[in-house]
Amino acid sequence: MTYKSPLLSRPGAVEGGGADSGVAAHYGEPLREQRALAAGTAVVDLSHRGVVTVTGPDRLSWLNTLSSQQVTNLPPRVSSELLLLTVQGRIEFDARIVDDGGTAWLLVEAAEAGPLAEWLTKMKFMLRVEIADVSAEWATVGSTRPVDAWADRIAWEDPWPHVGAGGYSYSMVAEGEHPGLDRPWFEYLIPATELEDAVEGLALAGTMASEALRIAAWRPRLGAETDDRVIPHELDLLRTSVHLAKGCYKGQETIARVHNLGHPPRRLVFLQLDGSQHTLPEAGSDVLAGERKVGTLTSVAQHYEMGAVGLALIKRSVDPAEVLAVQDGGEQYAAAQEVIVAPDAGQVVGRQSGFLKGPHR
């Protein structure tokens, strides 16, 4: 059954598409909504997202053995992020996790929930854990500020862009200057039957607003910045999603090998796009250096201050000073790149100095 949010009945609501089908892309004034969301005076309906619960006394130690993150002793109400990887270190699932002391809540993209619950169920063996896809019972609502009326709700606070315990930054930007600091992010869990009442009196923004703020914060999203080849290093996800000193898990060998001895083959960049055409290229468009394809536009939005912006995965070898172009059919958009993942990221063994920020212990 295709999900449709009850908030689509609000005046001016225009439904989103793709991964954000089922909720409003906007309510008639996308840029005004984006300003309000950035200022913390609006919330965004993310009720199409997936929610998977893991209960039982072994839940955290079990998730720890499966994932890239150290969560065995995750305190109640403290937020984290974990990845489930293939043997080759490629990202299968990206879950936002918060535990309430009895249940581990995994907040995921809509398309992840069913497959994730099924995969976890196959991996439970004789452990004392129970897995459930509760997406139909719970609605997610996003905000850039804490919502006082929801202080008692389960909430996930995005750790991005801070470098977590055991994490590592692949950025050339000083930690205090990362643009992600301008976008604090909270995701609240509301019983689906209470969604309309819970947002009564609150201004609403659509997913066009939340996506623009995400892109400006350099924050990767599963299904947008990921493909069947992506590894965490390429997206700077070692800072929030990987603990480099934890025990064995599937994909750990690739994580360690690339980090210590190699370089990720691609790197995530932020693109400031030429907005003179008054249109936006489609995600999936080719990124060019001259006439040579060097990558793919993964996300694109109209930012209320910066104009047309995007994220792209490009070859590591592309000169950071080179002006790129995005080709969408017959339209070409000039694109100035800002480095997110540095070209020489990785290969930290024997590194004497440099921009890379080591793990926090």
- Identity of the residue numbered 250: K
Distance spanning both ends of the chain, measured CA to CA: 46
9 secondary structure, DSSP code = G
Neighbours of 227 (CB within 10 A): 13
**CA 181 vs CA 137, 160, 222, 302, 309: distances in Å:** 32, 8, 20, 20, 18
Residue with tokens 């932020």: 270
Q: Is 187 one of the annotated binding-site residues?
A: yes
Question: Which residues are CB-neighbours of 161 under 8 A, at least 6 positions away?
Answer: 175, 178, 179, 180, 181, 217, 218, 219, 239, 240
* 3-state DSSP assignment of residue 239: helix
Contact 355, 342 (CB under 8 A): yes
Neighbours of 267 (CB within 10 A): 28
Residue with tokens 């290969």: 347
Whether residue 232 has a cis bond before it, omega within 30° of 0: no
Question: Would you say the C-alpha torsion 149, 154, 160, 164 has a positive or negative sign?
Answer: positive
Residue with tokens 């059919």: 329
Q: At 147, list the tokens.
A: 């919502």
Binding residues: 187
Q: Which residues are annotated as a binding site for substrate?
A: 187
